[in-house]
């Protein structure tokens, strides 16, 4: 995963959206990568997650972090709340929108079932 670009990582989030939990939601969360000077966003709109590369619009919340911290969050090695308190993540906008955003996604299974034929 370390080889992926920030845009690819943010874009990949959309595949885990839970349609039932997000059916009445409409808001955007932007991710500003301070080490690569890129901003990408995911807009949640009635059970659809739309990726916005090089985002310049208005977001309900903007999360400022490095790619390394973002990767750590994705794989469960970085606790979001602790990273904010320790200054590894900075937030602009509605801070409550970020936990709500992540709650709309299914967690990847630790040991996925694979069937070979």
Q: Is the pLDDT of residue 113 over 80?
A: no
User: What pTM does this model have?
Assistant: 0.89
Domain ranges within the chain, ordered by starting residue: 6-103
DSSP secondary structure letter of residue 107 = P
Residue 87, C-beta contacts closer than 8 angstroms, at least 6 positions apart:
none
Residue-wise pLDDT for 54-97, tens only, equals 999 999 999 999 999 999 998 889 999 999 999 999 999 999 99
Among 5, 18, 9, 2, CA closest to 102: 18
The answer to whether the beta carbons of residues 55 and 39 sit under 8 Å apart is yes
CATH 3.40.630.10 fits 6-103, yes or no: no
The answer to whether the beta carbons of residues 89 and 83 sit under 8 Å apart is yes
Residue-wise pLDDT for 5-48, tens only, equals 999 999 999 999 999 999 999 999 999 999 999 999 999 999 99
pLDDT at 107: 78
Give CA–CA dist 32/64, Å, rounded. Answer: 5
């Amino acid at each position: 995963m370390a080889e992926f670009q920030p845009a690819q990582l943010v874009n990949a989030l959309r595949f885990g959206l839970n349609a039932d939990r997000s059916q009445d939601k409409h808001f955007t969360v932007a991710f500003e990568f301070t080490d690569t000077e890129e901003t990408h966003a995911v807009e949640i709109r009635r059970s659809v997650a739309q990726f916005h590369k090089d985002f310049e619009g208005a977001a309900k919340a903007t999360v400022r972090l490095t790619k390394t911290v973002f990767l750590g969050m994705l794989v469960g090695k970085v606790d979001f709340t602790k990273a904010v308190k320790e200054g590894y993540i900075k937030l602009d906008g509605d801070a409550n929108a970020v936990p709500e955003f992540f709650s709309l996604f299914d967690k990847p299974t630790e040991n996925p079932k694979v069937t070979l034929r």
